[in-house]
């Protein structure tokens, strides 16, 4: 099983809310979400937690891609523009600094028009313990 399959199958929370990984390469991953009624908050726009989960799945894919278990320890997310019902959102994560123990990533969420919805940074902590997947892709 590849990491992309593993994360899509085993991350039950991401799966249950409709977030899917759609690409993963060395130092890069992409996840997608289409905004449905169930993702809306009290103001009628996509809830921040759904956006966070979308960004976080792309982050987890990049952070874990080296085969060692890597835990997310801190994220800063800034909400630039509301995401509306029906928007097709994409989160793209790139590794900004490949620190052996504390990898640091940038994640950006855009909508179907390329407008930036949210920007996130993620810092992770890499354990000396192997992740159970056979190969990256």
Residue numbers at the binding site for a copy of itself (CB under 8 A): 6-7, 10-14, 16-17, 37-43, 46-50, 52-53, 56, 60, 69, 71-81, 96-97, 99, 102, 104, 106, 108, 116, 119, 121, 123, 125
**CA angle in degrees (0–180, nearest 5) for 39-18-56:** 85
Closer CB to a copy of itself, residue 29 or residue 60? 60
Q: Which residues pair with 68 in a beta bridge?
A: 130
Is 74 or 88 the residue whose CB approaches a copy of itself more closely?
74
- How far is CA 135 from each of CA 75, 95, 105, 124, rounded to the nearest angstrom? 27, 19, 21, 21
Shortest Cβ 90–a copy of itself spacing (Å): 15
């Amino acid at each position: 099983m590849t990491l992309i399959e593993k994360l899509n199958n085993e991350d039950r929370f991401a799966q249950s809310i409709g977030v899917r990984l759609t690409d993963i390469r060395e130092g890069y991953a992409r996840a997608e979400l289409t905004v449905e009624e169930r993702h809306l908050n009290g103001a009628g726009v996509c809830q921040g937690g759904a956006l966070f989960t979308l960004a976080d799945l792309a982050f987890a894919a990049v952070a874990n891609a080296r085969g060692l278990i890597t835990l997310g320890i801190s994220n800063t997310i800034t909400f630039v523009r509301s995401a509306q019902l029906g928007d097709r959102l994409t989160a793209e994560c790139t590794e900004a600094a490949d620190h052996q123990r504390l990898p640091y990533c940038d994640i950006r969420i855009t909508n179907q028009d390329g407008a930036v919805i949210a920007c996130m940074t993620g810092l992770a902590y890499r354990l000396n313990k192997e992740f159970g997947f056979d190969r990256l892709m």
